[in-house]
Structures are given as C-alpha cells and as structure tokens.
Structure 1
Amino acid sequence: MTFAELEENEQDLLKLTRWLRKIQYRDFFPSHASTLAQEHLAQCRQALATFTAAVYEQEGLPQPSTEEAAQIRRGEVEEGKEPETW
C-alpha cells in the first residue's frame, strides 16, 4: 500500500463518478440499474476511505481530516487538485 496506489485509486474513482454523472444526465428513463450503480459507487467510496486510512496508518501519518475523507467519499475532489492539507 503506497501513496501512488492511493492516488491512482482516487483518480479511478473520480473517473467513475464523472462517467456515472454523464450517463445519468443523459438517462431520460432511469431504472433500478441507475440506483444500483449509485449504491456500488458509494461502496467504492467507502472502500477508498478505508484504504486511505490504511495507507496513512502504514506511513505513520495522521489521518486525513473528516472533511477531506468525506470529500473523497462523495467524489468531490477534483482531478488534479488535492485536498488542501495533502
């Protein structure tokens, strides 16, 4: 577990979040699959938060702030822009 892996996973999650938003924007007839996709993405965000905590712990660093972790889980961290304290 490294920060490079963490960064790669964060970028992948951002891509998935953007793709889902684009699909939902164009989806005029949402179905159960849309809700299921949102639930799976939420599970991915939680898994990333768990992985983030493990990487920080392994490196002996303080955990990211609650707000930063929440931003990651919600997919609000912009690509190429790191949270302020990272």
Structure 2
Amino acid sequence: MFIVTGGAGMIGSNIVKALNDRGIDDILVVDNLKNGRKFANLVDLDITDYMDKEDFLVQIMAGENFGPIDAIFHEAHAQPPPSGMAST
C-alpha cells in the first residue's frame, strides 16, 4: 500500500496519478475533508480508500495496522492562518 497525505491537493493528486500510470492503485489518500472541492482532483483516479486526516491520526495513535506500506508521500501542509490573522 502507498499512503499519500495531502492526496486530494494538486501535488498529492498528481502523485496518485503517477502511481496509477505505473499500474499502482493500492493507495490510501489522506486529506482534510472539510474542503469538498478537493474531491474533484481524485475523480478519475484509482485509489483503495480516502480518509479524513483526523480519522487517520486517531487510527495511528490507536496503533491501527494498515498492513504492509511500500511508501508514504507526505504532501500535506498546515492550514493557513484564519483570514485577518497576521502570520509571524
């Protein structure tokens, strides 16, 4: 299995596409599901499952076994500060 965090974003979904182009579809995409528009990036791609990042973290902390993992592509990023809040 391949895990792609941030997999519904532009970079992550292109990694999923590249894996699909190589015949790989055993892919777990992890991303923030609060932004429903991101799903559009995955419409034509083959994945095993899609998981919200919070659910993924809960399962990791609980010691969930995801089976053999071939690679993890970590493309997730911290959310930008709320609008109107200055970043330092």
Q: Same fold (TM over 0.5)?
A: no
User: Relative to total residues, which structure has the larger strand share, 1 or 2?
Assistant: 2
User: Relative to total residues, which structure has the larger helix share, 1 or 2?
Assistant: 1
TM normalised by structure 2 equals 0.29
TM normalised by structure 1 equals 0.29
